[in-house]
Structure 1
Amino acid sequence: MEAPRIDPGEALAELSRIRLDEVALDAVLARVADLANRAVPGSAEVSVSLVQAGANRAIAYTSDLARSLDEWQYEHDDGPCLDASVSAVSISLPDLTDEPRWPGWAARARAAGMQSSLSIGLPIQEAVTGALNVYGGTTHAFDKASIELAEEFAAYAAVALANAHLYESTATLARQMQEAMRSRAVIEQAKGIIMGQRRCSAEEAFTLLAKLSQDSNRKLREVAEALVARAAVS
């Protein structure tokens, strides 16, 4: 059974009003899936899948049925969703009773009541890919106009995922830089202590720290922290 219809223009306008910096990614993609399901003619179920670092998952879906059809592909490493994710193209399967490329998955989809499918790759970046998957309850459910409309929703999902990945990457880089700055600060403190105790140069102090690190099989920062801690209580 098709979901209650909504005018495609209204659906896309609603998506455009979502502030990607104020709404959680899962909530954005759930809205994309819901609106696509209601706006794309012939759609019965929709999911958004994500492939990152070799891990596949259905990140948004309109029903458990849609999620299960995606997860079957992940478990068997076979299906149109995965191929669309890798190639970043649109794969339309108009009749699942006659599908030689993925017969196992097609049989699973037919058993669940789906007769056609559409998977649209989301080109996010090299390490992160995904697909918008639209399932139809009849054969030949998606004509050219339906496919083009689904691709518009897929483009929005790709932007949301790319923004989220960029934010995550930026936040990770910031944490790494902060950690590096903290490490450098404590190492400089330890060098200063050694220079004061041994009347040596900064280069000689660092060489001594490096040797202590190697001899004790500890990270340079850990050796520096221990030396600074001892100096603080002495």
Structure 2
Amino acid sequence: MTEDRERKIIQAFVELSNDLVDDYDMVDMLSQLTTNCASLLDVASAGLLLADARGVLHVVATSSERTHHLEVFQLQRDEGPCLDCYHGGEAILVPDVDDKEDRWPQFCEAARIVGFKSVHALPMRLKDNVLGTLGLFGEEVGSLGTEDLALAQALVHVASVAIVNEKSASDRETINSQLQHALTSRIVVEQAKGVIAHAGDLEMADAFTVLRRYARDHSRKLSEVAGAVVRRELHQDALLQHARTAELRS
């Protein structure tokens, strides 16, 4: 392990641990998790699905827009490794999506179209409760190394604890409440991204960066800022101007 990668891994866990002791924003924390996975592991992108009270999966965080589209595609077609991972509660490792053409024909074709050749899905669980799945998408054929898989699962475990702490792990009602809050917040964030993207003529991923930067620089929750944008209490131009100013300073 190189010194630079070791430093980045330490930083990722420090960020997660800091979130746990603060009044953290669930969507922001999970978005950072997918970004860290894409940065630290031998994958191109990552996406996180969470289940609601009925056991229906929803896209909560992705590190890229193409991953977001592929995760949504899985849910719409009810087919893919992340769904099987959630329902079975076990990791699904696919070094080459072409080998799974018979199992997930629509998913495999969609994955190839957006440039992914491998996928590894890990369960997000706490005790016997499977909360969702983390999908790791690669642009090259091949398995993830043992260390990468262990690191990814460790990050997922910390995030699971962040959603539901140990004392409430057996309380299904509490779990459902926490998950529903995260899912609702994500919808508002997506709406705010659309507003900012339209106003600034930006890609959705860049709009999310603008939204997150404003929230963090003003010590506000991501979902809170997103809600203010959607309700027109905070004008999108203020966020765009803040992003421009921050870029000039950097």
Fold conserved (TM > 0.5)? yes
- Tell me which residue corresponds to 1:47: 47
- Tell me which residue corresponds to 1:186: none
Rounded to whole Å, the distance in 1 between the matches of 2:138 and 2:82 is 14
* Alignment partner of 1:136 is 2:141: no
2:37–2:45 Cα contact (<8 Å) kept: no
- Tell me which residue corresponds to 1:12: 13
User: How many Å apart are 1:128 and its aligned residue?
Assistant: 5.8
1:125–1:162 Cα contact (<8 Å) kept: no
Rounded to whole Å, the distance in 2 between the matches of 1:74 and 1:25 is 22
Rounded to whole Å, the distance in 1 between the matches of 2:132 and 2:28 is 17
1:122–1:155 Cα contact (<8 Å) kept: yes
Change (3 A) 1:125 1:152: closer
Aligned length: 168
Change (3 A) 1:8 1:48: same
Instruction: Report the structure number with the largest CA radius of gyration.
Output: 1
Match of 1:129, SS state, is: strand
One of 157, 160, 163 as aligned partner of 1:161: 163
User: How many Å apart are 1:171 and its aligned residue?
Assistant: 11
TM-score (norm 2): 0.59
User: How many Å apart are 1:38 and its aligned residue?
Assistant: 0.8
AA aligned to 2:45 is E
Rounded to whole Å, the distance in 2 between the matches of 1:39 and 1:116 is 17
Unaligned runs of 5+ residues in structure 1 are: 173-234
> What are the residue-to-residue correspondences of 1:214-229 with 2, within 5 Å?
none
Match of 1:120, SS state, is: strand
AA aligned to 1:107 is E
Match of 2:133, SS state, is: strand
One of 108, 117, 120 as aligned partner of 2:119: 117
Match of 1:43, SS state, is: coil
Which digits, 9 at most, give the CA deviation of each residue in 1:20-44, with x for residues without a partner?
A: 551111111111111111111x211
> What are the residue-to-residue correspondences of 1:73-222 with 2, within 5 Å?
73-99=74-100, 100-124=102-126, 129-140=131-142, 142-163=144-165, 169=174
Change (3 A) 1:108 1:169: same
Change (3 A) 1:125 1:21: farther
- Tell me which residue corresponds to 1:66: 67
Rounded to whole Å, the distance in 2 between the matches of 1:161 and 1:18 is 11
Match of 1:134, SS state, is: strand
1:43–1:141 Cα contact (<8 Å) kept: no
Rounded to whole Å, the distance in 2 between the matches of 1:37 and 1:126 is 27
Change (3 A) 1:125 1:111: same
Change (3 A) 1:171 1:121: closer
Which digits, 9 at most, give the CA deviation of each residue in 1:67-118, with x for residues without a partner?
A: 1111111111111111111222211100112213222211110110001011
AA aligned to 2:78 is D
Match of 2:19, SS state, is: coil
Change (3 A) 1:80 1:171: closer
